Structure 1
Amino acid sequence: MPSPKRSIHVVAGVITDARGRILLNRRTENSDMAGLWEFPGGKREAGETSEQALVRELREELGIEAEVGEWIMDVPQVYPDKHLRLEVRHIRSWKGSPRGREGQAITWVTPDKLSRYSMPPADLPVVAALRHPDRYLITPEPDADDAAAHQAWVARLARALEAGVRRVQLRTPTSPARVALAEQAVARHRGGVQWLLNRDIDLARRLGVGVHLGSEQLLQLDTRPLPAGQLVAASCHDLAQLQAAQRLGCDFAVLGPVQATTSHADATPIGWAGFESLRAQVSLPLYALGGLGPGDIVEARRHGAQGIASISQLWAGEAAGAGR
């Protein structure tokens, strides 16, 4: 019988300079995952608080005295030899000049360039949380192919965007009138909003926007359906689907349902424990879905999600303070 994997708690810091750049540490040749870049920090020892561990690690690694700020997220991750929980904190301020005191290279990176650096699996969801929205609106389908219903749908979408939503999946089935509705929404609000079309790869390619794949499409595709400049996301409900989305090169996925919903009353909720267990087995950025709203974002991030995906609550305008 194989030995049980050890569990470790690592605390990492997001250190930002006056130019908005973020500090990355490169793992040395004698360490696990040598050569990969990561957010600086290290293992929390017995008897230490997270703050104490991070202050100590940054002093040892970088030669700085840090003031630990607000919590960002926890990322559970399964590695071949261990169960890791990566706790990530902002660094409010520090004294000293950061340098690689353990022989490691360090570099300052603008947020938009973070994805260019090869990182351990646990660090990848952190990059997504720092760079991308913490809520993902999934629009309801327009009620009917008539002008009045479409006008009301467009007005509701505009209110959600005014409330701060910046990543949107458009569910507009492919009748000519509804395709025109998607085209109108994208053309009117293109700047500052990340658009994805539900399942329609050809229309997404034509409009130059992203696509959100249904779980049934994941197993039918051999390669990523859109270039890197256009987002590809997927709906997932189990590990096989998450692994397929990761192999395909999806930018993120939606996982659930976490809680019971009236719209999918026959689906069995996975709960937060189930979400975290699946989250730990992939490095894909994930949104938690199912009976959730903006008030659940903190809880979602405790289990490794970058935020929540929602139809009803975000469509109802409950997006105030959407931030990123």
Structure 2
Amino acid sequence: MTSVLPARFRTQVVGVALLDDAQHPTAFLAAQRAYPEDLRGLWEFPGGKQEPGESAEEALVRECAEELSVRVELLDEIFGPHAQGWPLSEKAAMRVWTGTTADAPVVGADHLAVRWVPLHDPDTVLALPWIPADVPIVRALLERIAP
């Protein structure tokens, strides 16, 4: 089902915290932005914009195939404070899921690098230079998956 965003959040973005294991995760995949220049080098959850006519889940599967050359199995949504998920700006919000893949991620043009981030040390995870809007999502992921 396609959701309609209020004027406040006209752009729906989707992202995924790819886990190394669905049952007993020890790491998740983070991607380092290549552009725009003001976000270059910052870390984020892989994903992208939802296109008209596709569900958020379809958009996320498509984006992961395009950006990382992986097939993903989506697990659970990490719900944000709004129906559209986590605010990114005054005009965009992101819904985020956990997921898994059996494929090895490939670095494409959208990212400088991808990295499996260990979940056992939250301070190390939070020390990465995340896109500021992603920090609350990282915290929510850590709370959800805390050992």
Q: Is residue 2:124 matched to residue 1:97?
A: no
1:106: Cα distance to partner?
0.6
Task: List per-residue Cα deviations over 1:256-282 (Å, max 9, x = no partner).
Answer: xxxxxxxxxxxxxxxxxxxxxxxxxxx
1:16: Cα distance to partner?
1.2
CA distance in 2, matches of 1:48, 1:57: 12
- Secondary structure at the residue paired with 1:95? coil
Structure 1 residues 10 and 32, CA gap change in structure 2 (3 angstroms): farther
Q: Alignment partner for residue 45 of structure 2, among 39, 45, 62?
A: 39
**Residue of structure 2 equivalent to 1:13:** 16
1:57: Cα distance to partner?
0.5
Structure 1 residues 75 and 43, CA gap change in structure 2 (3 angstroms): same
1:129-144, aligned counterparts within 5 Å?
A: 129-132=140-143
Structure 1 residues 31 and 7, CA gap change in structure 2 (3 angstroms): farther
Structure 2 unmatched runs, 5+: 1-6, 80-84
- Secondary structure at the residue paired with 1:46? coil
Q: Alignment partner for residue 60 of structure 1, among 66, 69, 81?
A: 66
**Residue of structure 2 equivalent to 1:118:** 129
Higher relative contact order, chain-length normalized (CA < 8 Å, sep 6+): 2
Maintained 8 Å contact 1:86/1:122: no
1:162-201, aligned counterparts within 5 Å?
A: none
**Residue of structure 2 equivalent to 1:22:** 28
- Secondary structure at the residue paired with 1:65? coil
1:31: Cα distance to partner?
5.3
| Larger strand proportion of the pair | 2
CA distance in 2, matches of 1:69, 1:36: 25
Maintained 8 Å contact 1:64/1:98: yes
- Secondary structure at the residue paired with 2:13? strand
1:29: Cα distance to partner?
4.0
Task: List per-residue Cα deviations over 1:26-77 (Å, max 9, x = no partner).
Answer: 1104455111100111110111101100000000111101111111122123
| Larger helix proportion of the pair | 1
- Secondary structure at the residue paired with 2:10? strand
Task: List per-residue Cα deviations over 1:3-29 (Å, max 9, x = no partner).
Answer: x98721111001111461111001104
CA distance in 2, matches of 1:30, 1:89: 24
- Between the two proteins, what is the percent identity of the paired residues? 33
- Secondary structure at the residue paired with 1:45? coil
User: Which has the higher Rg, Structure 1 or Structure 2?
Assistant: 1
Maintained 8 Å contact 1:20/1:110: yes
Equivalent residue letter for 1:37: W
TM-score, scaled relative to structure 2: 0.76
**Residue of structure 1 equivalent to 2:4:** none
CA distance in 1, matches of 2:70, 2:38: 24
Q: Is residue 2:91 matched to residue 1:83?
A: yes
Structure 1 residues 121 and 7, CA gap change in structure 2 (3 angstroms): farther
Maintained 8 Å contact 2:8/2:92: no
CA distance in 2, matches of 1:29, 1:88: 20
Maintained 8 Å contact 2:49/2:59: yes
Equivalent residue letter for 1:131: L
